[in-house]
Amino acid sequence: MARRVLLTGMSGTGKSSVIKQLAALGYRAVDFDEPGWSEYDPEGEWIWCEDRVQELLASLKDDEALFVSGCAINQGKFYGQFDAVILLSAPADVIVERLKTRTNNPYGKHPEELAATLENLATVEPLLRDGADYEIVTTLRLDEVVVEVIKVLEALP
């Protein structure tokens, strides 16, 4: 049976790093925060490109596993198509340090973006937590986080 796992969380929690590591290990893994998978809507909200996301989720063969990562205002529309939703979380001070020092994505470097991330940590993350099946705190080493994510996949029916 096809198994679909969503990794979600605030900026700086390690979604992109985890999804890249899963891909390097040979898993089918897609970062929905990459161009072409998400965009800003006319109101300036970050949304998943619904047609493209739906096409990917529907394309899995019976024996395939798929990991996707991302966080967008419309992701809840797809929760019913995932076998597991994993919230990646981290304390605010860890997120701030990661955003200041990361090199793979410029988001969070400007004071307004950092303030928005911290505001989302207080207001959006609790909503993500309510919709998640699992939570992994990403203060662990990257390889340890990846092992925990794979354990969730392996525990699925």
Question: CA–CA separation, 132 vs 145, rounded Å?
Answer: 16
The whole-number pLDDT of residue 36 equals 95
Contact between 136 and 87 (Cβ < 8 Å): yes
The whole-number pLDDT of residue 59 equals 94
pTM assigned to the model? 0.94
The whole-number pLDDT of residue 41 equals 96
The whole-number pLDDT of residue 102 equals 84
The whole-number pLDDT of residue 106 equals 78
Across the chain, the runs of DSSP E, i.e. the strands, are: 3-8, 28-31, 38-40, 46-48, 65-69, 84-89, 134-137
The whole-number pLDDT of residue 101 equals 87
Residues of the chain whose pLDDT is less than 70?
A: none
